[in-house]
Structure 1
């Protein structure tokens, strides 16, 4: 959404023009009235010398005090009128802070004040949306954790009372539920860490291709099951970043592909570009509307199709974006709704291509 940028000096210009015009008017009135009174004193009252000078000084003092009082009242009322929307906006801010309810916002004919009001309105809507999404996420997360815990508790209680007997299938099911909780908790822990400042000294140099192949090997069994064709074209890079963060990013992207894939082909490409290094993942997945292209990277956002699945936390892509942001990188999604291309771009300021 594009936002109109108002003139920076519109309010300043209005106040300055108002003061300058009124000051000029006062000077003209003072000069004219003083001239007329001087002529009257000389011609009608026949004053001259020190008497005339003293009379004119007294008249100037009286008219000066009178006009200054009028000027003060005029400026007070006019500036108060101009700043009234700001005071109302300040009251709305306090109201929103206390109740999270936004009442009627003021209106102003000043472009920059109106822009300030619109910005505040947009900010408050964003905060309310974020809080609503966060509440929904926490409810879903509570459900996601409660389900495997209930399953584990039921199986363990049954085993304790010899209601059922242990088997490899049962233990595999218990292990799957345990791993599901571990994944959720690990992602929450990673999300918290990405909120903290990243220490530059913790960066290290490592081969992007070698590290990528290590991660891919762990997901290879899942990929071989769901994909008939996998193409990997990666130009190696000696990346100077936090290796554990890189592993977390690729793991989250792989898991996202596994969870939402609906196609049979996977294309992974890594190429150097003038502005950095780009690593892209292209596959066919569940439908993503155009308005969700940016929303899926938000911290607590989950597509409707995923809420019923307890294995998906909705944190993966948010963590990827936060890690990249800390490393001056970006992640984007290009999609026609079903064929998705996730592209992550690294800053190569302190990285070099490995031609060996």
Structure 2
């Protein structure tokens, strides 16, 4: 007696019949509901993981929403007018768009978001709606190339400033990617970069332990002067400036470069470079129930110091420098490894998450963070 069951017969399908089969929308939705989706992979896409942009079309909203949930991606839904009843789901970031991003900045004039990452072109610019606008800065040995970007800032006149660990330089581009200036010999290892309200550039040098102020004619690509504002810093990386008070916050990693230590420290100086507040991981861990490892620092619109914590992971308000430390958690869910922060004019908080390769946007409620 033939023991082959009807189910077994179905599994050995006729390739020609299967190729021409029309699957109804109801059948497709049923496959998602019953989890009969053997082709589905959670590990990512082979082309997306190499930095290529991958566009997918899916008729099941369940499948699309599940994809975004797996990748921990915020997304929006928009109607697609060319096809009646169709929708477009959009997310900012993710595999295929960002690859191991390290720096985040906001253009004060256009509202566009600039990210440096490990893609083929190192500088990626998003429009205010989250779509990719353009990119530049290919990896290479030429002066206009970008090897290993660490941080990025955007000037008041829309120039992009990048710290490049590959050739230990600071590079200035216009917003279309044309190189304007390369500053190299003055630094040992430029790391963090920030733009002041006066359109001056602040740059930390992690190897030299210094903070520099650069006056640059950005349209002409001319370095007017460079001044060392602070020395004897311990492996300084991130830097932020308050547009309200002029205070400057510096993120230090007291352990030497290349060691496994995760102690971090934030120092805040006033506009005349007098130390007005500092706090380190050890002190914070005495006050907070869980370990804190600071990976980024920023100021909100009220002058509070905001930090990213990779151990939580979380975003935490430390309060104003003279009140250190007044800890107040701001974001405790939805993060993997936050490495950069920036506030928009509308008081939204943009967080660069290097583990999920995304930009995540949070609305700051009144009173949260000061």
Structure 2-normalised TM-score?
0.29
Relative to total residues, which structure has the larger helix share, 1 or 2?
Answer: 1
Which has the higher Rg, Structure 1 or Structure 2?
1
Structure 1-normalised TM-score?
0.30
Compare relative contact order (CA 8 Å, sep 6+) and give the higher one, 1 or 2. Answer: 1
